[in-house]
A and B are shown apart, each in its own frame.
Chain A
Amino acid sequence: MNRGRLGSWIIILLGVMYFFVPLLSTFEFSLRYLRGVYSFEAYRIVLADPRFGATVTYSALLAFATILVGIFLVVPTAYWVQLRLPGLRPVVEFITLLPLVIPAIVLVFGYLRIYNSSSILPLTGAERTTDLLLIFSYVTLALPYMYRAVDNGLRAIDVRTLTEAAQSLGAGWPTILLGVILPNVRVAVLSGAFLTFAIVIGEFTMASLLNRPAFGPYLQNIGANRAYEPAALAIISFAITWACMGLIQVFGRGAQGPAAGAH
């Protein structure tokens, strides 16, 4: 028994090292901007760079838009599949998993061919419409996570009976979706939203090839030209991602009460 326990400790230790050694090394490296002393000089320079603020803001805005479009697309779909088309579930699940299988680079080349400025729908012709295209591509990228989160949330409540109860009380579809279903999958939608946020903030391929000023390309640009700042940026984006995960936990816990689902 002792040897078994020792074995598991070793495995845990290896796992922890696998994750934390690179992170700690990056962090340590990011502090060595000034020769001979540890300092946050690299962070100061990064945060002072106006492009940092601009790209983070841009990416954050796109992330919010992505989340909104994603919720609008996924919640009614997952709801309807669960309520009326349970036979279609495997098909829908397969479709939502496709973005994990098809590389982003393939997607974006597809976009560039279909929506280029000489096509019927020249979305890449103007900056605003390119933003639109970027949002839609992010919705696609986040689809596996968003769909799974929402679908799990819907499974935890008795969708059919709640729908019928609301119907018999006179509610139409908008009221049922917004007033009954959505509030009861709030936690699931939020966790899907934070995952989406984390994905969009760090995304490089789409933004770069569509030539938009997002945080991912900025990160790459700094990384190619500077020494210490990229390390600081990497730590910052880790912090953002972790903050998102933390928020999922907080909201998940806060929802032990009313929105915890059917009992």
Chain B
Amino acid sequence: MTTVKDLPREDYFLSGHTACPGCGGAMVVREVMKVLGPNTVVYMPASCLLIFSDMYPYNAFKVPSLQILFETSAIAAAGVKRALKRLGKDDTTVVAFAGDGGTADIGMQALSGAAERNEDILYVCYDNEAYMNTGIQRSGTTPFGAWTTTTPLGSTSEGQGKNEFKKDVPRILMAHDVPYVATASLGFPADFLKKVDKAKAKKGFRYLHVLAPCPVGWRAESDSTVDLAKLAVETGIFTLLEYEDGVLTLNREPRFTPVREYLKLQGRFKHLSEGQIASIERWVKDKWERDRALAKALGPKPKVPVAIVR
């Protein structure tokens, strides 16, 4: 199993990319690529990642990469994999790195289709909780209360930040009963690397949802990325979990640090009222109750005998 010390020196996502200083997304991609190694093909949709790593004539990947459209990460990766199979290169890992918008919103249809067909790809969503590339607009995974440019502040009920709670994408993927679903945070390297390792080793559809703090969009200091990734977990806001062969495991019991500790580091939450903060606290509590119940309820998935007639 890979630990920080065993990680190769070699990078497959290189310096000279143009992500903002302290970009969590760039960190996620760099670490995942270290684990995946050279026998990999990368797909990138329109996103910050595309712009900071694939602006012609430069490209930050040491392995082949494909880019076509925004909402096509899962299907394009699947198409690549199917073709590689025909070419006798089934051992090549095909990974799609997509943002939360490209995953939870516009890309959900293709994602669900690919998951249901159990396409043999690794799908990594780096969740920076908004459409960052287009300038910080809300997405389905933007948390409750957060300021974005499409949930700006004002005196009406429309001016209090985002009015809805974060879409639970991993749970949607679990409902597809794919071989592997996991969430990860940069704040917990051992857990993160263990999951990338597992995801790499498995066959079939694998989904990793990684929280990727964005100093620009979250209105935070550029050196706070790792702290934010830790606090998101320790406050209970972001749950580290793993869903494998039908069994759901909650990987870490958080300390339940007060959510304010996390919120106060981010300008996007500066305006929150006491009421809104209470709502977030309540949401965290309910989420943990539900997820615990879910973990208890979800046993190994029924083994259906599959007859293959030849």
Q: Do A and B bind each other?
A: no
